[in-house]
Amino acid sequence: MSFDQLTFDNPAERYSHLKGKKQKQPLPGLDRDLDPQADHGEESYRGTGRLQGRKALITGGDSGIGAAVAIAYAREGADVVINYLESERTDAERIGGLIEHEGGKAVLIAGDIRHRDFCRELVAKAVDALGGLDILVNNAGHQVFHEDFTDISEDDLDRTMKTNVYAMFWITQDALQHMGPGSTIINTSSVQSYKPSPVIIDYATTKAAIVGFTKGLAMQLAEQGIRVNTVAPGPVWTPLQVTEGQPQEKLESFGEVTALGRMGQPVEMAPAYVFLASPESSYVVGETINVNGGMPVP
Ligand code: NAD
Ligand code: MG
């Protein structure tokens, strides 16, 4: 689909030709090798200048939802820093290259956010490269399934907690040193915050924590004019799912549980992140926007 064709079509049919398939990639996975290929808005996201001149840091911006947010932010006029893991360079360069090709600014900073020192370095480098920071999108995440709760090892738990929760605390603490009134922080939670799957209890725990973090921090920062919100996606076709994020058999019916009866595409998440970053959402504080194809949650 290209944005010339963007029509008021039937949302149950949009992308319904794209079905999940059994496949396995080693962590952290690449969009390059995802089958079918996902839509990050390359052809389908149309910007309208809503983030002109803003400076954004997006963790996990190389692939999946983060890549769609990076493309959308750039087309809305923002300069972006994309953080990713070194082994994801191919994906990061594709997204960065696309943005630069369109005349935008995209700076790539590789590194593992499970390390406190790297988080500090990431924010410092981002501020340096962009000349400041107005938007932080905490999006990087780790999800690996375990059929049996007692099989979650200490290392598994540590990786999930560090990536999804600790890094969010650390990067946000560092970013706040540079953010002023009108800045926005957008976290990525999940439908898993409300409807946890029994095979990803550690992951679901972190996603519920992100909702709590968002509400609490939003209350503290509102008087400084900094808004904090979260987007809670439903089942979206990304590398996260094929790097043991789901059991193989669940990949084939991925997303069919939603009211629309299909999985979501990363580009379908992007407008919520754009809305929460733009001044159009000035009265939206501590909120969770559910973008899940119809999985009613609180
Ligand atoms: P994805 O694999 O494309 O993105 C996750 C990114 O996290 C990776 O690209 C990687 O760069 C980054 N990452 C992981 N560990 C890291 C580390 N230690 N250091 C630095 N970066 C690291 O998958 P996605 O589905 O787009 O995931 C993005 C966010 O969306 C995650 O927070 C995920 O929990 C959330 N989410 C996804 C879904 C879904 O169905 N795909 C649903 C709800 C929420
Ligand atoms: Mg990736």
* CATH assignment at residue 192: 3.40.50.720
- Is pTM beyond 0.95? Reply is yes
CB 184 within 8 A of CB 227: yes
The CA distance from 263 to 270, in Å, is: 15
In the predicted structure, residue 278 carries a pLDDT above the cut 60 = yes
In the predicted structure, residue 1 carries a pLDDT above the cut 60 = no
Q: Is residue 119 part of a domain?
A: yes
Domain range for 257 is 49-291
Chain segment 174-217, per-residue pLDDT in tens: 999 999 999 999 999 999 999 999 999 999 999 999 999 999 99
CA of 117 to the centre of ligand 1 (A): 21
Q: Is residue 18 part of a domain?
A: no
CA of 61 to the centre of ligand 2 (A): 7
Q: Is residue 3 part of a domain?
A: no
Q: How many CA atoms lie within 13 A of 240 on its CB side?
A: 27
Model confidence at 6, pLDDT cuts 50, 70, 90, reads low
pLDDT reported for residue 4: 52
Query: For the chain, what is the mean pLDDT?
Result: 97
In the predicted structure, residue 95 carries a pLDDT above the cut 60 = yes
pLDDT reported for residue 298: 82
The CA distance from 141 to 143, in Å, is: 7
Q: Is residue 2 part of a domain?
A: no
Least Cα distance to 11 among 251, 230, 211, 261 occurs for 261
pLDDT reported for residue 94: 98
Q: Is residue 43 part of a domain?
A: no
Q: Whose CA is nearest to atom 18 of ligand 1?
A: 112
Q: Is residue 22 part of a domain?
A: no
Q: Is residue 6 part of a domain?
A: no
Residue 27 burial by CB count (10 A; 0-12/13-18/19+): exposed, middle or buried?
Answer: middle
Model confidence at 274, pLDDT cuts 50, 70, 90, reads very high
Q: Is residue 71 part of a domain?
A: yes
Q: In total, how many domains does the chain have?
A: 1
CA of 132 to the centre of ligand 1 (A): 25
Model confidence at 7, pLDDT cuts 50, 70, 90, reads confident
Which residues line ligand 1 at a C-beta cut-off of 6 Å?
Answer: 28-29, 59-60, 62-66, 84-85, 88, 112-114, 139-143, 163, 188, 190, 233, 235-236, 238-241
Q: Which residue has the tokens 């995209």?
A: 106
Closest ligand 1 atom to 63 CA: 3
Q: Whose CA is nearest to atom 21 of ligand 1?
A: 84
Has 84 been annotated as catalytic?
Answer: no
Mean pLDDT of all residues in 216-225: 98
Model confidence at 126, pLDDT cuts 50, 70, 90, reads very high
In the predicted structure, residue 117 carries a pLDDT above the cut 80 = yes
